[in-house]
Each structure stands twice: as structure tokens, then as C-alpha cells.
Amino acid sequence: MSLTPTLLAESIDSTNLRLDAREADIVQLCEEAMRERFACVMIYPASIPLAVQVLGGSGIKIGTVVGFPSGRFSTEGKQAEIEQAARAGAHEVDIVMNYGALRDGHDALVLRELCHLTRTAHGFGCLIKVITENCYLSEAQVLRSLELCEEAGVDFIKTSTGFGSSGAKVEHIRLWAKNRRGPIRLKAAGGIKTLSDARTLIEAGASRLGTSNAVALLAELRGQTPAANTGAY
């Protein structure tokens, strides 16, 4: 299938998780999302009310991060973050798995948390994406994270926070696409800077891309001069 600007835009979570982001940057992100019709804007929880104000009535989804970026927060703390974000107007939550617990072999603990948080998010009508931070996992752990996410009933499994030692790897998307058993979808994030990066990940099986370079990717696809990259995410 040919990758058109519309199809690419519909696959993108346009992201600003920069530590130095200001209100004007979030407004710009939202305005770009309305113009290009991105799937979602991905922002910090404190920016949700501003995004609601700017995006009101546009149909663009608002996403935020939970347990970010380490995942090493209590289940109760993550639950509270989900509840607060949903009440503020978020439609999607990208939750960092406790991948440290997964690395230490505490699979049952990880699964209990994922099941609890999935019930919480779905109870508020929010789509849930679980970030596994694959740069710190072995191949066996990458596969195990998929099994746990599928068992918990999450909507998406996601490669990276963008704050780890590396971002999305096409081999991890291929591995998940080959081994998933059900309808779970795949999100690649971190270091997606060029159209070639985006195309390769989509062809491998990703149906969402998290990137701070969304406008530049579309410009490249249209044969225009891309704007400068805005960040590593």
C-alpha cells in the first residue's frame, strides 16, 4: 500500500515531551495536529487543560504519559495519574511498564499492574499504550513483554520512552508483529527523524509512530524541504 500524507498523518502521535517546552510550544503542537490531522498529540499531564482548550471540537485526540519515564512508581500512583488525566480530558494514556521488575523476573507483579491499569484506563474510556523500553530488555524479555500486554488486554505495546539509551528498533516491531496472537497494535517511538525511518517501521508492522518530527516527516513525503528536527523523540 502506498504511503500517502493522509495515511502517514493518521499514524502519528505528534509529541512534545521536551523538558523545556513552554505553553506556546504546546499550542503550536496542537495547531499543527489540527492542520495535518494527526492521530493524537502526546504531552505531559500538566498540559492537558491547555490542549483541551486549543483542540476543542477538532476531533484530535489528547494523549499523555503515566509513570514516565522510569516506570518505577507504585501501581496506585500510576492509577491516580490515569484518573487525573482522564478527568482533565485525555483520551489516550502511554504508561511505562515497570520494566525493571520484568528484568528481575517478577512477571506476576508486572502482569497484576498491567491488568489493574488497563481496567482503570478502559473504565474511563481511554486507550492504553504500554511502553516497555526495549533498549534495556533482552530479546526474550521483549517477547515476554508482548505476552504480558496481550494477557492484560492493552490496546498498544510501545517500544520506547525516547529517554532511554536508544529508541525504536525495526527488529523489535518485526518481532512483535510476528509473535502477537491477537489484536494488540504496535507503536514505535524514539528517534524517528526521517521518512525512511517512518516508512520502515510502518512496513514492519507499526500502526502508530510517536515522534517530535511529525511535520518534517510529512513535508519530506510531500517533497518539500523538511523543517529542522525539534528533538530526539
Mind telling me the catalytic residues?
A: 94, 158, 187
Helix axes 195-204, 170-179, angle to 10 degrees: 20
Instruction: Provide the β-strand partners of residue 41.
Output: 14, 62
Q: Confirm if 190 and 161 have CB atoms less than 8 A apart.
A: yes
Q: Which of 176, 168, 85 is nearest to 125 (CA)?
A: 85
Helix (H) or strand (E) holding 8: helix 5-10
Task: Compute CA distances 6 → 35, 39, 97, 162, 182, whole Å.
Answer: 11, 10, 31, 25, 26
Instruction: Provide the β-strand partners of residue 189.
Output: 210
Q: Confirm if 95 and 85 have CB atoms less than 8 A apart.
A: no
Across 118-190, the runs of DSSP E, i.e. the strands, are 127-131, 156-158, 185-189
Pairing of strands 185-189, 208-211: parallel
As a whole number of angstroms, the distance between CA 164 and CA 103 comes to 15
